[in-house]
Amino acid sequence: MSEGRTKRITFRVQRYNPEQDGTPYFQEFIVPSGRGMTVLEGLIYIKENLDSSLTFRSSCRMSICGSCGMLINNYPHLACHSQIEEFHSDRLTIKPLPNQSIIKDLVPDLIPFFDKHKSIKPYLIRQDIEEMENPTAEFVQLPQELNTFLQFTYCIKCGLCLAACPTSASDKPFLGPQALAQCYRYCADNRDEGRGERLPIAGADHAVWHCHLAGACSEACPKGLDPALAIQLLKRRLISQALGFGKRQRPSSVVPPPTETKPKVPFPEFTAKETK
Amino acid sequence: MGTAYLRLVQLVTGVLVAVLLSIHIVLTHLDAIFGFFGVDVAEPTAWASMIERASQGVFVGLYVALLACGLYHAIYGLRNIILEVTPSIKTGRIVTWALIVIGVVVFIWGTYVPVALFTS
Amino acid sequence: MRQRQPRQNYLGPGGWVWGGSYKIERYLYLLHRITGLGLILFVIIHLVMTTIFRIQGQDVWEATMVFLSNPWFKFGEYLVVVAFIYHALNGLRLTLQELGFGLGRPTPPIYPFTDALRRKRPWTITMIAVIVILSLVILVEFVAGGW
């Protein structure tokens, strides 16, 4: 696999070892790279061949798990999604995501981030508690109703939006673009009846009103989610609720699952005839 | 829910301040604007025209309204900035009350002189 | 093994100014804050002048006016007018966009991804052009009217 790796790229990686009580420092590595090689592959090369104490998170290597978020050349990227060639540079500076504490090297502490996500109740809430806990039927949702919030369901919880947000830089209790966008995703879902519980959380202090439409979160999002749009739509919901107008969304009805099945299609006859 | 009302008033006072302040700037620079077109108007910042304006209720009303809207807009904005930098909830409450007190004091101070000149 | 606290890595208020190379709306927000604070400072000075110096009579008022016809103060007045124009027009844009108007509908993400602010960026650039043109017009007026 090393044929074609002709260029030598300098990886300037921020290191930090908590057990040695020091301050973060930079360490440089020379990585042979070629076409199609991602930053994550470069980091794995360093860990396998140059310095096995380098610590970073990675899992799926196809930008679906959201583990490998880091600051590459001062911009938040997913390491598995960024090719070395796209930076057009011989030097890459790699730092952990800002606005989240560092555990070691390039590993941020994502527990406060997940706590903020949990605090906005990211699950469907129905008035009929018995149906919610022991479901007997399906919720009806038309495709056009799904399209009003489908874009915001693709969140992989990678934390890049929180690293990009200027408000998150100084405001520690701020919920962050991810939690607020997911709050809108559940409020806009017509299967959900929990708006009364979720909207006060969004309208509280250090929540939606500290977003100032810098738009950096939507720029940094690797899945094209546009959290900025979700947050502005959430603000619109809060204000129309305060003023008293706005369409009253009827919660979706429940339909028992279909019991009749279609007739079975006969297996086509295509067994190969033996040539004599 | 109350925070949505505060934000809505912020937006409304923003529009009001933009309108009233534009009127105020145009009135104070009336001599420069009309001088551009060659028309001679009395200088608005001279003592005589200022006293004449201070005795008309329209102008006093304009200044008081401008001060009220501008103060609310500014205090809400300042509160947003300060709350983003202070970490705890208790400091947030102290900051909110301090800003409300400052706003009321500045409003009373700012309306005293126009009203005094109007009624004198 | 001792349990250690993770090391803090917040950018702080410096992160408002520079967090990386982002697009223009992030810096428009920063400029909105700076012009807001500048306008507050001006309002305080202005209130002091029109209350304390106005009520003391004609001599103090006219002495203040002479003091303020210094070219540096005239330039400061011009900066305040530009700050007001920027804050008002950007505030109008923020009012409309923060209420969700003029941002478009959620669309399913198809690579290469785009976002609502990028799609509406032509309007933002138009607004900036209007601000620049108005500032230049007012500059001409200030210079022509006597600096």
Kindly list the domain boundaries of chain C, sorted by start residue. 24-103+116-144
Q: Which residues pair with A27 in a beta bridge?
A: A13
pLDDT at residue A274 greater than cutoff 70: no
- Residue among C4, C20, C94 minimizing CB distance to A213: C94
Kindly list the domain boundaries of chain B, sorted by start residue. 2-119
More confident residue, A47 or C115: A47
Distance CA C61, CA C53 (A): 6
The DSSP call for residue A204 is S
Q: What pLDDT, on a 0 to 100 scale, did the predictor assign at position A163? A: 92
Distance CA C123, CA C101 (A): 13
Chain B residue closest to C59 (CA)?
B47
Chain A residue closest to C24 (CA)?
A214
pLDDT digits (tens, 9 = 90+) for B38-63: 666 666 666 677 777 777 778 888 88
Q: What pLDDT, on a 0 to 100 scale, did the predictor assign at position C74? A: 83
Are residues A161 and A219 in contact, defined by beta-carbon separation less than 8 angstroms?
no
pLDDT at residue A78 greater than cutoff 90: yes
* β-strands A102-104, A25-33 pairing: unpaired
Helices (H) and strands (E) counted in chain A, each on its own, are: 10, 9
Residue A86, CA atoms < 13 Å, CB-side half-sphere: 13
What is the identity of the amino acid at C111?
A: Y
Cβ neighbour number for residue C12 with a 10 Å cutoff = 12
Cα angle A62-A15-B84, degrees, rounded to a multiple of 5 = 80
Give the ipTM.
Answer: 0.84
| Ranges A150-154, A249-253, A260-264: which has the least confidence | A249-253
A145-169 CB burial, b ≥16 within 10 A, e <16:
beeebbbbebbbbbbbbbbbbbbbb
More confident residue, A172 or A257: A172
CB burial of residue A249 (10 Å; 0-12, 13-18, 19+) = middle
pLDDT digits (tens, 9 = 90+) for B77-98: 999 999 888 877 788 889 999 9
Cβ neighbour number for residue B31 with a 10 Å cutoff = 18
pLDDT at residue A276 greater than cutoff 60: no
Distance CA C75, CA A225 (A): 45
Supply the CATH classification number for the domain B2-119: 1.20.1300.10
Q: What percent of chain C has pLDDT over 90?
A: 29
Distance CA A141, CA A252 (A): 7
Determine the longest span between alpha carbons in chain B, in angstroms: 60
A154 to chain C: which residues are within 8 Å by CB? 109
Peptide bond into C122 cis (omega under 30): no
pLDDT digits (tens, 9 = 90+) for A88-134: 999 999 999 998 889 988 999 999 999 999 999 999 888 888 878 88
Q: What pLDDT, on a 0 to 100 scale, did the predictor assign at position C105? A: 84
Q: Does B86 touch chain A (CB under 8 A)?
A: no
Residues 6+ apart with CB under 8 A from B42: B31, B48, B49
A203 to chain B: which residues are within 8 Å by CB? 1, 3-4
Are residues A242 and B5 in contact, defined by beta-carbon separation less than 8 angstroms?
yes
- CA distances A87 to A45, A122, A257, A275, Å, are 19, 36, 52, 59
- CA distances A273 to A266, A268, A276, B102, Å, are 19, 14, 9, 94
Interface of A with B (CB under 8 A): 167, 170-174, 199-200, 203-206, 209-210, 235, 238-239, 241-243
Flag if A229 and C116 touch (Cβ within 8 Å).
Answer: yes
Q: What pLDDT, on a 0 to 100 scale, did the predictor assign at position B40? A: 66
Architecture of domain C24-103+116-144: Up-down Bundle (1.20)
**What domains appear along chain A, each with residue ranges and CATH number?**
7-108 (3.10.20.30), 111-255 (1.10.1060.10)
Q: What pLDDT, on a 0 to 100 scale, did the predictor assign at position B46? A: 67
Q: What pLDDT, on a 0 to 100 scale, did the predictor assign at position B58? A: 83
C92 to chain B: which residues are within 8 Å by CB? 15, 18
Cα angle B22-B23-B29, degrees, rounded to a multiple of 5 = 90
Q: What pLDDT, on a 0 to 100 scale, did the predictor assign at position B63? A: 87
